[in-house]
Every structure is written in structure tokens, then in C-alpha cells.
A and B are shown apart, each in its own frame.
Chain A
Amino acid sequence: MFRLIVQRVALAALALFLTSLITMAAVEALPSDACAAYLGREIQPAALQKCREKLQLDRPAIERYFIWTRGLLSGDPGVSLNSRRPVGEVLIQRIRNSFLIGGLAALIGIPLAVFLGVYAAIRRERFPDLAISILGIASMALPEFVTATVLVFIFAVSLGWLPAVALISANSTIPQMLPATILPVAVLIVVMVAHVMRVTRTNVIDQLDSEHAEFARLRGVTGWRLLVRHVLPGAVPATIAVCAYTLAWQLAGVVVVERVFNYPGLGSLMVDAINNRDLPLVQTTVLVFTAIFIGTSLLADIAAVLVNPRLRRRSS
């Protein structure tokens, strides 16, 4: 088992390394640079040169990469070219905000999805299952921005219950932010629930149809006992896997959602940074994003191994 974990961690490190390289390469390839973007079009070459020197943009790319990496590893990822504030400071708040909506979505969405999946599996082919399945397919088909737009329309524009755009800043306290989180969380939940529910349903059905469930029934095991002791445990590893996969994939959705609602999170920070050619910010943001993504997958893999007795102990 340890072998597997070590493998995964090594893989994660490789992925992060690749990420940093690609990010660097991509931003380097951008036609203009931070100074040009910041100072605007009509600038004198002297001012541009001075800006570049100050921000170390005149050094070769490889050198800048090492400066940045060194800084990162020692806890100082540089300064945002755009806002002149330390990257770390900016990041922490944004991460907190994104985790807020992501976390709420997960806390509500996953239990809901698992419950719906198990219920649909038990009532296979009957009305509850059909209803749940159709809703599932429909919500999977909706891109986040469509769902977001629809929800904004219903709740903000028509009913006026909630604000369409979050009038908060990155620094607001959590209680201040909560009302603004409702719609983003709702959108995230819709997609998450659809995926997790569908996979859970398939897994539970597989278990219900399995030989060991059949044998259990032939031994007189019925009802709750059958479900809880013989059916569900087998469905757990795959469900955990899909939960983690969905959570991780949600990060991509978060970018869109934050954009739609102007929510000050990590995703919108990243998009802005790209548009501003703010290299240190882009690099670090992307790296953090990816690290969270990979970390979640890693936790899922480990959880799946722990839960599966076959992988936990070696078979004879």
C-alpha cells in the first residue's frame, strides 16, 4: 500500500513541475508583458525600460524562473506586478473565498448526491429512479455558465431575492460574504450532484446485482442489513473516486462561476492575472490551483485504497 502512495505523491510532484514549466512558457509567449499592459499604449521607451528593470523583466526567462521557484520554496512567491502587493497576501484571501463556495458546495452536494444515487439504485427502473436519472442527465448537460445565468435570471432578476452581482470585496469577512455565496454554491452543486449521483447509482446497482449480494439473499439476509453490510461497502471505493474527481474538476467550474457572479475568488484572480500578463501572480495562482486539484485526487486515491480490503492487505 505504501508503494502506491509513494507513487502517487511522486506523480503529483511531476505534475506540479510540468505545470510550472508550461505556465512559464505560456506567459512568456504572450505578445506583450506586464509593463506594457500596465503602462498602457502610449509610453516612452525609457519609462518602459525603467519599469522592466524594476520588475526584473529584463533578465532572461530561465533566470526568472529560478528566482521565482526559489522564492516560492522559501515562502515568498514575489510581488504581483499589477497591484504591487505581495502575491502571498493576495492569494490567501482569494483561496479562502474559493474554498468557502467550494466547501459549502461539497458539504451539501456530496451527501445529497450519494443519497439520491443510492435511492435511485434501490428503486431501479421505477418512478423515483427515472425522475432522478432524467434530472441528472439534464443537469450534467448544462454548462456552469448556463446554469448560472438561468439561476441569476430566476432568483435575481425575476424574484429579486438575491443580488445578481456580489457587492463584496476580497477582504470581506465570511459572514458578510455568505449571502453572495448562495447562487455560486447552487450552481456548483447542480453539476456536482449530477455526476456523483449517476456514478453512485451505477455502482450500487452493480453491487445489488453482484454474486455476493445474491448469496447473501440466499442466506436470508434482507433489508437494511443487506444494503448496509453487503451492498454499500462494495460501492464505496468507486464513489469516493468519483467524488474526488468531481471535486477536482469543479475547480474548473469555479473559474466560470466566479466570473459570472464577480465573486472574488481564486478563479477570477487567475483570469484577471492572465489578462494583465501579471507573471508572478499567474504562475503562483496556476500552481496553487493545480496543487489543490492534484492534492484532492491524491486524497481520493488514498481513501480508495484504505477502504478496499483487497488493496489494504495483500491476498494470499
Chain B
Amino acid sequence: MNASPLLQVRSLSVGLRTRDRGDLPIIRKIDLEISRGESIGIVGESGSGKSTLAMALMGFLKPGVERLEGTVLFDRHDMFGNDAVTAKLRGGAIAYVPQNAATALTPTMTIGNQFDEALRLHSSLDVSERRGAILEMLADLRLPDPKAVVGRYPHELSGGQQQRCAIGLAMAGQPKLIVLDEPTTALDTATQASILELLAGLAERTGTALLYVSHNLGVVGDNCGRLAVMYAGEIVEEGMTQRLLSAPSHPYSRGLLGSIPSLRDPGIPPAMWGSPPAISEHITGCRFSDRCPKRRDRCSEHPMIGRSPIGGGVRCHFPEVGPAAARVGTERRPTRDEPVVTVRGLSFLYARPGLLSRLTGAGKAQPAIQDIDLELNAGQTIGVIGESGSGKSTLLRVLLGLHRPSSGEATMLGHDLRVPLARRPLDLKRQLQVVFQNPSSSLNPRQTILEIIASPLRLYFRDLDQDAIYRRVKGILEQVRLGTRYLDRYPSQLSGGEKQRVAIARALAAEPRVILCDEVTSALDVSVQAAVLQVLSDIQKEHGTSYVFVSHDLATVRAISDHIVVLSRGRIVEAGPANRVFGAPEHDYTKMLLEHTFDPADIAVAA
């Protein structure tokens, strides 16, 4: 390691400067060092400030955000000093890869022109040299048919190709350091893997340092030598990746790792209840203390970074390495063999948009599903695994009556599920509920939580009076572990995890036999996912509700499912009891998915 680090961050605080409420830091007194050729990862969930930090390393702040204190020195240049020099370095010696290349690439410029611009700004090649260099770069990025790509616009490429271009633009200036903000979040599993592989290869060849900012421990776990964990704007722990992942010492890091579902160690992971403080909250002590299970008096004093038991740094008065908390519900409750939903040979082919719709360019085709067989018993959970385009959401929509199947059968408790929604009896609608992926759009922003949960009660249980409804809503909220103070709040005042629990409460209010869960954890932070899984599991134990749990995340599905169905391109490629499918997968596709799933248990074994 070099004596002088490539990037040196000292006591950096960045945030909002308000007139009436003082300084509101988004990141607080960050210290960080990166050496040449290193790969380090910054892990954090929403609200941790990691994206703000990533941009601040480039000397870049969003409008309204200011540097409150501290410095960022890149190659001994102050990134907040001379604007002209900083601008020259950006895209050159220090480069950035954005989260969503689809919106980050300029839509009105061709790929070729954007690359040409990068070379013009950051290299001394002349026009003809540039042309050749661009084709070479596109080939290195493993883009098919570079000559054609040069003339294309960003929206004409696939997500993976767009991301490769973004990476290519970063490499064009032959950077010494690349900052990557969630580089693979928007991509599917197979593409993720190839992008990460590409990056690792490029970095090794050129000796470029990489800084990964991500909430996905799998991404950073495999690719970084050192990790730093961020919470509420601060670095709470840092150290060598292997050691940190196998024996974290900060309560938050432990909780975070503990809340990741494991393939090998099934069961609902323990949840961390509560949520991170808002930037406007002034907290004098430890910022994690209100959620910390080990809180003591001393924690009202703000901890500094000290030496951790595993050799890195940790910001805690009482760091402790210990065994991970046990996973809950490892033994599945024996379920009765009482089929609730039966599906045989269900197919739904592409919905052809009407003539007029096609003329006007509207009406996207839905992915098809073919020959689906399912049997859902009472109190059981079937996990449906599939990537985007696999038809998993279509399957749910057909079951809900939004699409008319083209062949096959489906019944639930004696009702025919092929009947379209409009003609279904109210009781069937009551028995079959659904929870959606996006917590923000699944709740009416103009209704209070009380009204949202009361709506199904009023619809299905007409003889309840106001007071009875009120009491029931309270009871239901308790079951999703939300207190009465949520009753007259609006969705905009809740966090993602809380909103999702309200959505579950709303489904629960109908007292259904079956709840369809459509990627209900996918839009949430890892530690919050565990809370939702916990709530779902509690409800199932208490009421014997059955779930069809759809997700692309294998570990989450594993944690909650009894049976598994793997979908690919509309067909079932593998099905069976969860233990069997995960323990001894038969189909290649399943094996591929399993390979690319991060499992914290793996790290523990390796260390």
C-alpha cells in the first residue's frame, strides 16, 4: 500500500443549511481513505447518506446541498477547491457510474457521440484515433456489433447494455478511481453477474481503484477487500470484508447481517424494528441507540470511532462479536392437506391489443404463462421464483381475474377462478386478497391509515358500526406491529416498511383465506424486509392464511415458503418442497439462480 492514499476524506459533513433549523447534515464527519488499486465497499440502507457521499467524493453536491465541513482530497487535490480543476478531474482521473444508466445517459445523443465527447475531454487522441478507440472500447465492454451501437441512441439498448456503456464512459478517461452507485440494482441476476465480472476484470487489468456504494451485501461482499457500513449519515463500522461479514461488532451491522435471509439456514431472519432518524432530528447521543437492543446509559453520549474486536474501526461504546440471533420459525408448522387453491394447466397467452390501440402505439403485450399447475393448501406458502418477464406477475393477475385465461382450470374453495373480476361474487373477492410491490402507490395518499384499513371492513362487514370498525382497525394494526398513533397519519408520513405493513393490514382486514404477495419485499431495505416477513409469518400462524409469495429474491422466498415453483419464460421449470428445490436443484436455471444468490452463511464458512 502506498504511503499517500489516492483518496482521502477528512471529517466530511454535507447537508442542508436552513435559516430556521440550522444545519441539517446528510452525512456527518466522514473519514475515509482509498489506496491505489483497492476495491472498497460502502454499505448502507435508505437514509444512510451513501449516495450523497458517493457524489461528494466527486466534489459534486445536489442543488440546495452544501458542504458543511471537512475535505475531500483526491490525488492531493481538494475536490471542493478550484471548480475548473475539479471539473477536469471528473470523468477523467476520477469517474462515476450511476445507478440507472437508462436515465443517466443523454437521450438526445448517440452512444458514439457520448463516447467521443468523453475522449475529447479526457484524452489527447485526434478524430480518427478516437473513432478507432471507441470501437475498441465497445468491444472490450462485450457489446455486440460495436459499429451499430455507435450510431444508436440510449433507449435503443437493453438495460445491461446501457450499464456497460455507462461503465465504458467512466473508463474512457483512464481513471484512477471509479465510484459506483448501486451499479447493478436495476438489472436481473444473470446480467448483474456479468457486469460485476466485467468490472472486476477491467479493474485488475488497469489497476483502477473501485468504490462500490450499495445496499446489496452480495455485490460488495464478493468484490471488495474492505467494507464500511453507514447508518444515519455516519460510518458505524469498517474493516476487512471477510472479517466484517463473518463477525460484525456494531449492533447495526450485526442486525443488518442478521436480517438477511439465508439459503442454507432457512427461516424468518430476526428483524430490526424502528427506522433511521430523519436528517432534521437532532440527536446528541448514538444515532442508533433508539433501536439498539443493547442500549445503556452511556449511549446518550455520542461514540467516536474506536478499534473493533476484529481489527477494524467501530463507532460504539460496547462493540461485541457474537453469534447471530437465531432465525425464527425454522420448523414449518405441519399443514393440513386441505387444498384451497387448485390450478391445472393454466395458460394465458399474449393479450393482443385492440386495433386502435396498436395504431396509436398503446397497449403493451403481457408476458404469457403456459401450463401452470399449483396446489395451495391451507396455512401454507407457495413461493414463486422468477425474473422479470417470467410471467410471475401475470400469473397473479390471472388468478385475480384481471385477465381471462385461454385454457386450463383454476378453482378456489369451490369458486371458479377463470371468471373475470367483474362477475365474481363479493365473498370470493374477500377471500382472495393481494399486496403489491410498491408501498408508495398502493396506499391512497389522501386517506389516513384508519380510513385505508376501514375501507375493506366497511365493504365486507356491513353490520359493523363506527366504534366496532375503530376497534378492529386498532386490532389489525397491532398484528402488523403498528401502534395506534399511526391511525390518523397519512401514507406520506410513513416509511416504506411501515407502508407495506399497512398494505398487509388492509389485506388482512378482509379475513381472507389467501393473500397473494407480489414482490412485497423487493422495494424495501434488507433490514426492513425481515420485519415484513415476520409479520406475514405471524399472521399465517395465527389465522392459517395461505400465501402465494412471488419474488425474484431466492433467499427471501426460501425464508417463508413451504413449496417452491420456479418460473422461466412463462413455464414452470422446477417445482417441489422448499428444502428439496434449494438443497438439490434439478434444473439448470434454478442452479444458475442459486449460484448468484448471496448468502451470509457462506462468508461465515469461508472465514
Contacts and interface: CB of A to CB of B under 8 A. Distances in A.
Q: So, do A and B actually touch in the complex, CB under 8 Å?
A: yes
Interface of A: 3, 7, 209-222, 225, 229-230, 233-234, 309-310, 313, 315-316
B169 A219 contact: yes
Contact of B91 (A209, A211, A212, A221): A221
B90 A229 contact: no
Given A229-B109, A309-B153, A316-B157, 7 more contacts: A3-B360, A214-B62, A215-B104, A215-B166, A229-B113, A309-B107, A310-B107
A7 B360 contact: yes
B114 to A, nearest CB: 9
B17 to A, nearest CB: 16
B100 interface: yes
Interface residues of B, number: 39
Given A315-B156, A316-B156, A316-B157, A219 B96 contact: yes
Contact of B105 (A3, A7, A209, A212): A212
B104 A220 contact: no
B100 A310 contact: no
A230 B359 CA distance: 32
Contact of B104 (A209, A212, A233): A212
B280 interface: no
A217 B96 CA distance: 10
Contacts of A221: 91, 117, 121
Contacts of B104: 211-212, 214-215
Contact of B106 (A216, A222, A316): A216
A217 B360 CA distance: 37
B167 to A, nearest CB: 12
Contacts of B316: none
A309 B108 CA distance: 6
A219 B361 contact: no
Given A215-B96, A217-B90, A220-B92, A209 B63 contact: yes
Nearest to B158: A316
A100 B593 CA distance: 69
A219 B120 CA distance: 12
A202 B88 CA distance: 29
B555 to A, nearest CB: 31
Contacts of B158: 316
B156 A234 contact: no
A229 B117 contact: yes
A176 B60 CA distance: 60
B55 interface: yes
Most chain B CB atoms below 10 A, which of A216, A217, A230, A310 = A216
A218 B92 CA distance: 10
B295 interface: no
A220 B109 contact: no
A216 B108 CA distance: 13
Nearest to A316: B156
Interface in B305-362: 359-361
Contact of A233 (B62, B98, B100, B108): B108
B156 A218 contact: no
A222 B193 CA distance: 34
A219 B122 CA distance: 9
A123 to B, nearest CB: 14
A3 B358 CA distance: 10
Contacts of A234: 106-108
B81 to A, nearest CB: 16
Contact of B359 (A3, A225, A233, A316): A3
Contacts of A229: 106, 109, 113, 117
A220 B91 contact: yes
Nearest to A208: B63
Most chain B CB atoms below 10 A, which of A210, A215, A219, A310 = A219
B509 interface: no
Nearest to A311: B361
Contacts of A316: 155-158
B63 A230 contact: no
Nearest to B156: A316
Contacts of B360: 3, 7
A313 B156 contact: yes
Contact of A212 (B107, B156, B173): B107
Contact of B87 (A7, A210, A220, A313): A220
A225 B92 CA distance: 16
B100 A218 contact: no
B95 interface: yes
Given A310-B155, A315-B156, A219 B90 contact: yes
Contacts of A218: 55, 58, 60, 90-91, 96, 98
28 contacts: A209-B63, A211-B98, A211-B103, A211-B104, A212-B103, A214-B60, A214-B104, A215-B98, A215-B106, A215-B166, A217-B90, A218-B55, A218-B60, A219-B90, A219-B118, A220-B90, A220-B173, A221-B91, A221-B121, A225-B117, A229-B117, A230-B106, A234-B106, A234-B108, A310-B155, A313-B153, A313-B156, A316-B156
Given A313-B153, A316-B157, A316-B158, A219 B105 contact: no
Nearest to B154: A212
Nearest to B118: A219
Contacts of B203: none
Contacts of B98: 211, 215, 218
B122 A220 contact: yes
A216 to B, nearest CB: 6
A68 to B, nearest CB: 33
A220 B121 contact: yes
A313 B360 CA distance: 15
A229 B109 CA distance: 8
Contacts of B89: 220
A309 B107 CA distance: 8
Interface in B25-62: 55, 58, 60, 62
Contacts of B121: 219-221
Given A220-B91, A220-B122, A230-B106, A3 B155 contact: no
A315 B364 CA distance: 13
Nearest to A219: B91
B108 A215 contact: no
Interface in B69-127: 87-92, 95-96, 98, 100, 103-109, 113, 117-118, 121-122
Given A211-B98, A211-B103, A217 B60 contact: yes
A181 to B, nearest CB: 38
A234 B91 CA distance: 22
Contacts of B88: 220
Contacts of B155: 309-310, 315-316
A37 to B, nearest CB: 47
Nearest to B89: A220
Nearest to A314: B156
B90 A215 contact: no
B101 to A, nearest CB: 9
B63 to A, nearest CB: 7
Given A218-B90, A219-B95, A222-B87, A211 B359 contact: no
A212 B102 CA distance: 9
A17 to B, nearest CB: 20
Interface in B104-152: 104-109, 113, 117-118, 121-122
Given A310-B155, A315-B155, A212 B359 contact: no
Contacts of B103: 210-212
B137 to A, nearest CB: 14
A104 to B, nearest CB: 32
Contact of B109 (A3, A209, A230, A313): A230
- When A and B form their complex, which 6 residue pairs have the shortest distance between CB atoms, in order from nearest? A219-B91, A220-B91, A233-B108, A215-B104, A220-B90, A218-B96
A215 B117 contact: no
Nearest to A6: B359
Contacts of B108: 230, 233-234, 309
A208 B572 CA distance: 47
Contacts of A233: 106, 108-109
A7 B113 CA distance: 33
A210 B105 CA distance: 10
B302 to A, nearest CB: 33
